Amino acid sequence: MGEKNRSMQSSRVYFFLLLVCTCRLASGQLFGNVSYTNPILDQQGADPWVIRYEDHYLMTFTLNDNITIYRSQSLTNWNNASTKLVFDPPEGEAYSYSLWAPELHEIDERWYIIFTANADNESPPPETDMLCDYTCPAVSHRMFVLESSGSDPWESNYSLKGQLDTYDQFAIDGTYFQHPTGLYHVYSCWYDKYTSWPANLCVTKLSNPWTVSTPLSQRTILSVPTLPWEKTPYGRPTNNRLSSNEGPQQLTNPHNPNRTYIIYSAARSDNRNYCLGQLELVGQDPMNVNDWRKTIEGPVFYQNALEEAYGVGHASFTTSPDGRENWIVYHGMSDPLGGWRARTIRAQRFEWGDDKDGGDPSFPRPGYGPYRVPSGQV
């Protein structure tokens, strides 16, 4: 009996140790930090932009009152990241308030931060607001550009280079679209200054990163939120207010550089229905709306209610440290009733299709993990 009891006790101990090891492996505590969970930053955050530069990642996101660059060797843990304040605007300027969605781009051996800002802190005078079809607190939003002092994005200082011409009309979430035919500005726009919603995707050509060369008559509207999933809430007979196409980002297939996309955000950014849509450039002219193909079957990345991952959107794209994997960095919320303040920054690996032309991006279902860390991350 004693021998049998000892055997049973040993089996229980073995089972307990196996269970402990399994749990630790799932939480990344065994054999090094092999996994992570979302969010990747333990604070509120939205509109993340992440790139890899040399042996670090650099990130910017919406802080509203300034622009700060974060630097980390880890893509999936930013809690101990270094920070560098690069722009702290004075009051009373056209760019003093509501600094949104800064992005850091390398163009011709300099670094440019393109960002949205506002002159009136979301409170336009009644004489302006009354001209809008709907209430329009963002009517004064425009696009601005900072330029680096050198070729290193972290070591450089940044100065205001200028305002991008959006014809004195609403403009948010601007990005650079780099193409063999030139440099372009893709941003979220209204039809005209006071139409308000919907917010569409517009494109203009640039002669340099801070100068628009396209007259208003030649500005192209690439996408309008006409599909049900681009509107919030679903099902209204008239549903333009806060229906949006915004947050555009260029994404090029690494296996076939002739396949390039704009992944954009749709619906309303403060609730559960925020999601990602897709445009592909199937022709040669980014300014020709007929050279773009829109995925109309549904969003390519959207809420996962089973895991309480809501309002997922405004993404950027990067790679693992060894360059072997593709990663999407985005914001989302666990509380769909919390509004804009409920958003946090998350990251997940994504794949590319395997057809003869290189395939479309294939995004995962959003969630919290644990997930395996990026390949090559220490």
In the chain the first and final C-alpha atoms are separated, in Å, by 50
Calpha distance 233→28 (Å, rounded): 39
Q: What are phi and psi of 216, to 5 degrees?
A: -55, -35
- pLDDT classification of 358: cutoffs 50, 70, 90: confident
Q: What does pTM read for this prediction?
A: 0.91
pLDDT, tens digit (0-9, with 9 covering 90-100), for 306-334 = 999 999 999 999 999 999 999 999 999 99
Angle 101-147-330 (CA atoms, 0-180°, nearest 5)?
Answer: 20
**What local confidence, expressed as pLDDT, does residue 189 receive?**
98
The one-character DSSP state at 289 is G
> Is the peptide bond between 370 and the residue preceding it cis, with omega within 30 degrees of 0?
yes
- Cis amide linkage into residue 48, ω under 30° from 0: no
Mean pLDDT of the 18-45 span: 65
| pLDDT tens by residue, 185-228 | 999 999 999 999 999 999 999 999 999 999 999 999 999 999 99
The strand pair at 310-319 and 326-333 is best described as antiparallel
Query: What is the spatial order of strands in the sheet that 245-252 belongs to?
Result: 245-252, 260-266, 275-281, 292-294
Inform me whether the pLDDT recorded for 282 exceeds 50: yes
d(CA 223, CA 354): 27
Residue 91 has pLDDT above 70, yes or no: yes
Whole-angstrom distance, CA of residue 51 vs CA of residue 106:
10
Q: What percent of the chain has pLDDT over 90?
A: 86
CA distance 83 to 154: 10
Q: DSSP letter for 228, please.
A: G
Residue type at position 136: C
What is the C-alpha R_g of the chain? Answer: 23
Q: Does position 184 have pLDDT exceeding 80, yes or no?
A: yes
The mean pLDDT of 86-110, rounded to a whole number, is 97
Q: With bands split at pLDDT 50, 70 and 90, how would you rate the model's confidence at 242?
A: confident
Predicted pLDDT of residue 233: 84
Rounded Cα distance, 326 and 114, in Å: 24
The average pLDDT across 254-262 equals 95
pLDDT at residue 12 greater than cutoff 70: no
